[in-house]
Amino acid sequence: MADSLAPAAPATVARTPAPDAVRAILFALALGGFAIGTSEFAAMGLMPDMARDLAVNEPQVGHAISAYALGVVVGAPLLALLGARLRRRPLLLALMAFYALGNLASALAPGYASLLLFRFIAGLPHGAYFGVAALVAASVSPPEQRGVAVSRPLLGLAIALLVGNPLVTWLGQSLSWRYAFGVVAALALLTVAMVARTLPVDPAEPRADPLRELRDFNTAPVWLTLGIGAIGFAGMFCVFSYLAPTMIHVTGTPEAWTPFALAAFGVGGLLGNLLGGKVFDRFGFRGAALLLVWSTLVLLAFPLAARSIYSLIPAVIAVGTMGALASVLQAHLIDVAGSAQTLAAASNHSAFNAANALGPWLGGMAITAGWGWTATGYVGAATAVGGLLVYALARRVEGRRERLQAAFDCA
C-alpha cells in the first residue's frame, strides 16, 4: 500500500552515474517494491482458498495478514537501526534476500500456525527496504530529479496493487495459493541479482548515527503523526482484507471476479498517490483531516455499495483513494523528523502496517461476533474518526510548540 518519504538532506555521491545506469538502479529498486507489494496483499485476494486448504475460517486467515503487518511494525525500525552503519548496497541485498527466504517459507508452510510465523518473518525487512531504497534512489540521481527518483521504489508497490496482486490471485485460484508466495520469492531473488548488478558501492557514502536518529525521532510530533496513520488508516485495510469473502457472501459474485476488484483497488491507490501530494501542497498538514473525513464517508457508504457489483467496484476504487493520506503524513514527517530521516522513513511503514494489523483484527472480531461481512465498513469508519482525534491532538501539540518557540525568540 503503501507511501513515499524522501530524506530532507540526502547524501551526495562523488559522481552521479550515467542516466542509463540510474534508470537501471531505479528499475531494480522498483522491482523490489513490486515484490513486496505483491506479497503484502496476496492473502487478501486468496483468503477463501487459503481458508479451505488450511482448514480454518476466513477471519483466521486475516490473522496471517496481521502477522505480516506486525512483522513490518517490528522490523522496520529495528533493522533500520541495526543496519545504520552498513553500506546501503549490502544492506539492500541482505534485506531482499531475507524477504525471499520469508516468502519461500510461507509458500512451504505445513500448517496454519507455521504460516503465521513465516508471514511475521517475511514482514520484517519490508519497511527497512523501502527506507534504504529511498535513500539510494536519492543518492544516485541528480539533485533536480531526487523527488521523482525517491518515488520509484513505491511505484513498484503501486503497480503491484494494480497488476501483481490480481495476477497472483488468479494464479492462486487456478493452482494453489502457495504459488503466489513462491512467485514473490522468485521476484525477490531477481531483485537481489539486479541490485547486485546495477548498484555500485559508493566509497563516499556517509554512515548514519543511530543515537542521533533516535534522539530526533523520539518527539511528540513524530509519534503523533505516526499515530494518525496507525489508527486512521486501519479502515482501508479492514475493508480490503475481507473484500474477497464479502464479494462472495454479500455481493454474490463468483471467486473469478476477485482479481477485477483488486485491480479496481489498485486504480484507487494510484489515484490516491497522485492526489495526496497535491492535497499536501494545497492544505499542508490540514490535508490529513480532510482525507480522514473523506475516508469516514467512503467507509460508511461501503456496506450499502457491497450489495451490487455495479456499486461495489466504484466503492472499492474510492476505498483505494484513501492511500492519499500516506503522502500527506509522509510529507509532514519530513518537516518534523529532523535528522531522523532514515528511521522515520522506515517507521512510516511501521505505522501503516500497524494499521494493516489493526484493521483485519477489528474486522475479524466484528465478523466473528455475527455483525456480518459488511460490518468492516462501519468498523473502518470508526478508526478513521479515531485518526481524526489523534490529528486534533497533534495540532494542539504543534500549536503549543509554536507558541513556546515564539516566546523564546522574543526573549
Tell me the CATH number at 153.
1.20.1250.20
In a domain, 238, yes or no: yes
| Domain tally, the chain | 1
Q: Which residues of 65-103 are buried (b: 16+ CB within 10 A; e: fewer)?
A: bbbbbbbbbbbbbebbbebbeeebbebbbbbbebbbbbb
DSSP 3-state percent helix, strand, coil across the chain (nearest 5)? 80, 0, 20
pTM: 0.72
The half-sphere exposure of 411 on its side-chain side, counting CA atoms within 13 A, is: 6
Residue whose cell numbers read 548496497: 89
- Residue 372: domain span: 19-410
Q: In this structure, is residue 5 part of a structural domain? A: no
Within a domain: residue 164? yes
Residue 7 lies in a domain: no
Structure confidence at residue 14 (pLDDT): 43
Apex CA 206: angle with CA 205 and CA 212, to 5°? 155
pLDDT band at 43 (very low <50, low <70, confident <90, very high): confident
The mean pLDDT of 162-166, rounded to a whole number, is 83
Query: pLDDT digits over 345-396, tens only?
Result: 778 878 887 888 789 889 989 998 989 999 999 999 999 999 999 999 999 8
Residue 295 lies in a domain: yes
Q: What is the mean pLDDT of residues 54-77?
A: 84
Residue 220 falls inside a structural domain: yes
Residue 308 within any structural domain of the chain: yes
Q: Considering the domain boundaries, does residue 12 fall inside one?
A: no
